[in-house]
Amino acid sequence: MATTVQPQTGTKPAASLSNEEILRYSRHLIMPEVGMDGQLKLKNAKVLLIGTGGLGAPLGLYLAAAGVGKLGLVDFDVVDFTNLQRQVTFGTSDVGKSKSEAARARLANLNPDIQIQSFETQLTSANALELFKDFDIIVDGTDNFPTRYLVNDACILLKKPNVYGSIFRFEGQATVFGMPDGPCYRCLYPEPPPPGLVPSCAEGGVLGVLPGIVGSIQAMETIKLILGRGDNLVGRLLLFDALGMKFRELKLRKNPNCPVCGTHPTITKLIDYYEFCGVRGEEAPGPTVQVPEITPRELKARLDRGDDLFILDVREPHEYQICNLKGHLLPLGELTRRVHELDSSREIVAHCRSGKRSAEAVDFLRKAGFRKILNLKGGILAWSDEVDPSVPKY
C-alpha cells in the first residue's frame, strides 16, 4: 500500500507552478501518476541527504531535477581525487573543495527553482535532531556504522522515514525504515559488527556504477513516498548483485523487542554511537599493532648501501600490478599457509599500501619466531612521498 509522507514543517505550501516550472516538469505533469498534484507535493517536500558521496550523487541529482522543493546536504568531507570514479556530482575542478558546497553549487545549476542548503558538518548526536526537524524525509547515504545507527535512531525519535541504501564491492541493499508499523535498522541489525571485521570501501573497493544504481533506487523510493504512489520498500530488503545482475528481496519484520522502535524502547534519546560501534572517534591512522618499523628513507639508504634485505610485499596480486618495490609477493591472507617460503635467517622488510596490513604480517611473523623483521612505515604511499614520487599512489 502506498504511504504518503505529509510535509510536517515550514511555511505555507506552494499552491501553483510558474510557467517555467510547468515546462521544466512537463514529462512529470503529463503522467497521471504525478500530474500537477504530485509535482506540487514534490515542490513542497523537504528532503535531507546524509552524505553527498557515491549514493548522494544520484540522489542529489535526481531529487533536484525532479523538483523536490528543499534539499539539505550534510557532509563534512572535501572532494578527493579518488572520489571522481563514482561521485558524479563532482568535477575534477572540485577536488579539494567542500563536498556539501560543491554539491550545492552543482544542484543549484541543475535546478535554480529549488532551495538547497548545505551543512558542512559532521552529523553527531548533538546536532542530528536539530538538523532533521526541518525535513520530511531523511536519506541515508553514509559510509559507516556509527552514522547509520545515529540516522536510524534520530528518525525513529522524530518519526521520520529513513530511506536506506548501502553498498559493498558489487552488492547493494536498499529499503525504507522508520515508517509507522515498519521495521527500523535496529530491527534488521540490532548490533554493528566489531570494527575491522568488515572492510570499508577504501579497503574493499567499489565498482563506480554500483552506488549510482543503489542511490537511484533510494531516489525513486523517496519520490514515491512524497507522491504516495506505488509500493515502497517498507518491510522489504532489496538486495542487488551487480555481478550476477540479480535483484532479490527478503522480508523485514518489525521487532517488538527493538530497543528503539519496539513496544518498550530502552533508547529514548541519542547515544554515543562511536562507543556503541566500538570505535573511539576517528579511526587511528597507521598500524593497529605495535611492531618494529623502518622509514622509507632508512630503507632506501640501506638498499643503496647494498645491505641484504628481503622485501616482502603482503598486498594482493592486482595491487602488485599497479606498482611495486620488486618485493616478494605473498598476500596477507595466504601468509599462514605459505610462511615456509620465508627464510627467518634473513632480514625482512614487510610492506603493503599504507603499512597497516604489513604491521599485521610482521606481528604474525614475530609470533612465529621471525626475529629480523621490520615494517615499512607508511607503506608504498610513504615510499612514493618520501623516496620515489614516480611510484603511483592509489
> What residue ranges bind other proteins (CB under 8 A)?
51-56, 75, 77, 83, 86-87, 99, 140-145, 148, 165-171, 173, 188-193, 197-201, 204, 206, 211, 237, 239, 244, 248-253, 333
Q: Residue 299 Cβ, how far from other proteins at the closest point, in Å?
A: 29
Which long-range contacts does 36-42 make (Cβ < 8 Å, 24+ apart)? 38/227, 38/229, 39/67, 40/13, 40/14, 40/15, 40/16, 41/4, 41/226, 41/227, 41/228, 42/66, 42/67, 42/68, 42/69, 42/223, 42/226, 42/227
Q: Residue 147 Cβ, how far from other proteins at the closest point, in Å?
A: 8
Residue whose C-alpha is closest to residue 25's, from 16, 13, 35, 11: 35
Catalytic residue among 155, 187, 201, 277: 201
**Nearer residue to other proteins within complex by CB, 39 or 166:** 166
Q: Residue 61 Cβ, how far from other proteins at the closest point, in Å?
A: 15
Q: Which residues of 24-43 are buried (b: 16+ CB within 10 A; e: fewer)?
A: bbeebbeeeebeeebbbbbb
**Nearer residue to other proteins within complex by CB, 3 or 147:** 147
Q: Which residues pair with 163 in a beta bridge?
A: 139, 176
Residue whose C-alpha is closest to residue 56's, from 129, 106, 124, 125: 106
**Nearer residue to other proteins within complex by CB, 34 or 49:** 49
**Nearer residue to other proteins within complex by CB, 53 or 161:** 53
Q: Residue 33 Cβ, how far from other proteins at the closest point, in Å?
A: 28
Catalytic residue among 187, 261, 277, 352: 352
- The one-letter code for the residue type at 138 is I
- Tell me, yes or no, if 201 is annotated catalytic: yes
Q: Catalytic positions, please?
A: 201, 352
